[in-house]
Amino acid sequence: MVTREPEYFPPAAGTVAQLGRNVLFFCRSVGQATLLLIHAIGTLRFAFTKRARQEIVMQMFVSGIKSLGVISVVGMFTGMILALQTGIELSKFNQEVNIGTAVMVSMLREMGPFMTGLILAACVGSAIAAQLGTMVVSEEIAALEIMSIDPVRFLVMPRLVAMAIMTPLLAFYTCIIGVIGGGIVGASQLGVSWEAYIDNATRFADVQDLYVGVLKAFLFGVIITIVACHEGFATTQGAVGVGYATRKAVLVSFLLVLIVGYFVTRLFYI
């Protein structure tokens, strides 16, 4: 059962008891989120039904197409900042022509997936948590269960599939926009021609950088969706609880994007 009655816990007897309770709550949340992910994966066999396909396409539009504007701006200025800061330092050694390599590798490995993950966590993750949280407090989830409709299959699985598809695509798009932004800065402010910039960007970037970036983006999409859905389903206390669940979903998603991004880089490059 996804829905449950609000829980009551008496005040902790002391600091140690409160710390222990927080640890237990954390472990329980991790377990619940993991079970939610397993349940959602188990319902993937229904992703090809007509109803599920329509919902997945709708969620892809909401999470992907509607995020293109802000992702374009963020990606462009991320590449421009990388090129400017790197070019300023490299110009001290007359090596500013190599900014293409720095921008391309940085965007592919880290900044593209990372910035995409943060944007989607703030835009899409918060929306998912708020929507599901509102459904919980208004007892719409309970109504689905009464009608023997699996909320995970009906609500979580389409969002998970959509984010797993769109996040890598958006991350790759962010990388392209960032490289273009870096080239604009190189040509207009650092005296680096487009030909030299693109040659350095493509010559030293490795295919592994692209694969690692896509893997990171895929993991970020799954994490953001599961965290947002878990927090939405765990909502209690009416409208106040919806706001709390939304804030917590964004906060936890941000932290996990940072932590998982580090460990994936550590796994493949060290």
Per-residue model confidence as pLDDT tens digits over 136-145: 988 899 888 8
**What pLDDT, in 10s, does the model give residues 208-238?**
999 999 999 999 999 999 999 999 998 888 7
Closest CA to 115 of 222, 265, 266, 254: 254
The predicted pLDDT at position 1 comes to 45
Averaged pLDDT of the chain: 90
pLDDT digits (tens, 9 = 90+) for 146-168: 898 899 999 999 999 999 999 99
Question: Is a pLDDT exceeding 70 seen at residue 68?
Answer: yes
* 3-state SS class at 117: helix
The CA–CA distances, whole Å, from 47 to 7, 89, 162, 228, 268 equal 34, 50, 11, 20, 32
Q: Which residue has the tokens 């005296």?
A: 191
**Longest CA–CA separation in the chain, Å:** 70
CA distance 174 to 186: 18
- Give the model's pLDDT for residue 8: 64
Task: Give the burial class of 166: count Cβ atoms within 10 A of its Cβ; 0-12 exposed, 13-18 middle, 19 or more buried.
Answer: buried
Q: What is the pLDDT of residues 183-208, one digit of tens each?
A: 999 999 888 888 989 988 888 888 89
Token pair listed for 53: 């396909």
Nearest to 30 by CA among 258, 191, 256, 262: 256
